[in-house]
Amino acid sequence: MSPIIDGRAIAADVHSETSRRAQDLLRRGVQPGIVFVRVGEDPASQVYVGMKERKARELGIRSETVVLPAATTEGELLALMARLNADPSWHGVLVQAPLPRHIDPAVIYAAVDPRKDVDGFHPLNVGRLLLGDEGGFIPCTPAGVHQLLIRSSIPLDGAEVVVLGRGNIVGKPMASILLQKGRHANATVTVCHSGTRDVAAHCRRADILIAAMGVPRFVKADMVKPGATVIDVGVNRIPDPAKRGATLLVGDVDFDAVRPVAGRITPNPGGVGPMTIAMLLANTVEAAARQTA
């Protein structure tokens, strides 16, 4: 078995399943639809939204991007949310981060109809995840990590899992997914963060180590138990030593050093990233199915 967990290949499988579901809905006269809302001209956001739109179209999902100026007020954005919530042709609504500093993301995420919250950030969906209620939507990146583990046949029941990072987007929901009592979960989960004493000692105990703290190449070989599964969620830009003024995209794991120690490991890029888009579009089709049942 290859030690590399190929996120692109697994995402392609998820996309195939999503496409089949979208075609089933189309035969019923329903085209799943997602609208992306972008405020300002952040270059990374432009790239990410473009990738999501292209893949949505490939899968038979209707998509559109609404671009608002950076000076848009919170009230104006909330008014747009209300209009999109009321429009039955849109089954999913995604507000692309980051937002301008004068807009509170928590207020905006809470304004999205929970039934259309395909990003899984609405407080109601967060609560459903914590309670083990499968009627909500799970944030896409941790949902994607979960699918990587499941589809790579990584044992989860009773596994020692260490999650590095306690953020609302990855760390907390990741822990909530894996500690649930049920199939493809039931793990013993430790969440490490900036206040954790001796992070390395916790990491060395892990059967599954999930790095989502935003520190470039933080996880070194001596922090990993031999044979452990290592999932790298980090996205960091560092100076490229080979090209003056250029940058490199690296994860939270020192991949070259850790790979010989790990039993399974995700590359970065090509690991978790493709799964985030895959789960977003899977959520969109699920939202369409629920809203038109």
Report the C-alpha gap between 207 and 225 in whole angstroms: 7
Catalytic residue among 113, 119, 207, 254: 119
Q: What is the DSSP string of 18-75?
A: HHHHHHHHHHTT---EEEEEEES--HHHHHHHHHHHHHHHHTT-EEEEEEE-TT--HH
81-92 burial string, b = 16+ CB within 10 Å, else e? beebbeeeebbb
pLDDT-derived band of residue 1, with 50, 70 and 90 as boundaries?
Answer: low
pLDDT of 249 reads: 87
Going along the chain from its start, the domains and CATH numbers come out as: 31-113 (3.40.50.10860), 140-273 (3.40.50.720)
Catalytic residue among 55, 96, 113, 172: 96
Helix (H, G, I), strand (E, B) or coil at 127: helix
Residue 52 among the catalytic residues: yes
Residue 46 among the catalytic residues: no
For 110-169, write each residue's pLDDT tens digit: 999 999 999 999 999 999 999 999 999 999 999 999 999 999 999 999 999 999 999 999
Is 95 exposed, middle or buried, given 0-12, 13-18 or 19+ CB atoms closer than 10 A?
Answer: buried
Predicted TM-score (pTM) of the model is: 0.96
For 44-92, write each residue's pLDDT tens digit: 899 999 999 999 999 999 999 999 999 999 999 999 999 999 999 999 9
Catalytic residue among 52, 116, 172, 225: 52
Report the C-alpha gap between 100 and 64 in whole angstroms: 21
Residue 240 among the catalytic residues: no
